Amino acid sequence: MKLGAVIRSMGPAATAPTVLTCARAAEQAGLDEGWVVDHVAIPPDDAEGSQGIYLDPLTTLAWIAGGTERIHLGTAILNLPYRPPLPTAKAIATVQELSGGRLQLGVGVGWMRPEFKALGVDRSQRGRLSDEMLAFLEECFASDEVTAKGQAFLFKPRPEKPRIFVGGGSDAALARAVRFGDGWLPMGSDPGMLAPRIERLRELEKEAGRERLEVVAMGGLALHEPARASDQLAELAALGVTRFAQGLRYDEPGPFVEMTEALAGLRVGPR
């Protein structure tokens, strides 16, 4: 199982020194992955905890990529309907190219109504818009020449397509993962809660004739109890979870550094 951490790109922790210090700490601790979240337009009445401060995820990962060497970098998650397809595809390819192929793309359809309103996007169309974006990304990374709105253009640089992990817990999200993704990205670390949805994912895989997808779980382990945390990871691995990312609220790097060291000390299966 690969282990990672959520690097806070929001609130007081969303500063250049803190973000880079945390990313380097995760890399130095030996973690496999660092993930950042995505919001574009937080309304004032929903800003508790973040103060409405959110860094753009792809720009943040480009910053992290320039200051690290090995750790893989992920979005958890990039809300697809918020963004126009072509410029987004270009930004994704740019991060993948400049990071040396370290990008991992966690994607979702979004949920916050005020955010959709501020962006002028019809929330009821978020599933369709997400599917169109994912299909377009497939085209862009499959050929140097792509057509959009009747215009052919060169999609270069064209690095290897990032692995795509689809978020969301609904059947529609699972079906989207099977259709477009390399895996499913659920929130939560409770094996009992994840087991039924993973079972449903396997059913959909079988129906579609797809090979076994990865499962990237994001949640919180009781790292102050290493034996318990290791047992929980072992249970998740037995269910088919291949990657786990630990989340933590922090404003300064200290608590994050301690968390990465504790997490890296857990071992569940080959890494």
Confidence class for position 268, pLDDT limits 50, 70, 90: low
Query: Would you say residue 271 has pLDDT above 60?
Result: no
Confidence class for position 267, pLDDT limits 50, 70, 90: low
Measured N-to-C along each axis, helices 171-180 and 126-142 cross at an angle, to the nearest 10 degrees, of 10
Q: What's the pLDDT at 215?
A: 98
CA angle (214 as vertex; 234, 189 as ends), nearest 5: 45
Locate 234 and state its tokens: 């072992």
pLDDT exceeding 90 applies to what percent of the chain?
97
For residue 135, count other CB atoms closer than 10 A to its CB.
13
Q: What's the chain's average pLDDT? A: 97
Residue 6 pairs with which residues in a beta bridge?
35
Residue 2 pairs with which residues in a beta bridge?
243
Q: Would residue 271 count as lying in a domain?
A: no
Tens of pLDDT, residue by residue over 32-65, are 999 999 999 999 999 998 999 999 999 999 999 9
Q: Would residue 270 count as lying in a domain?
A: no
Q: What's the pLDDT at 239?
A: 97
Q: Would residue 84 count as lying in a domain?
A: yes
Place of tokens 């949805």: 197
Q: Would residue 140 count as lying in a domain?
A: yes
What is the domain-level CATH number for residue 199?
3.20.20.30
Q: Would residue 33 count as lying in a domain?
A: yes
Query: Would you say residue 270 has pLDDT above 60?
Result: no
Tens of pLDDT, residue by residue over 234-257, are 999 999 999 999 999 999 999 999
Structurally, the chain folds into a number of domains equal to: 1
Query: Would you say residue 15 has pLDDT above 80?
Result: yes
Domain that holds residue 255: 2-264
Query: Would you say residue 141 has pLDDT above 90?
Result: yes
Q: Would residue 136 count as lying in a domain?
A: yes
Peptide bond into 12 cis (omega under 30): no
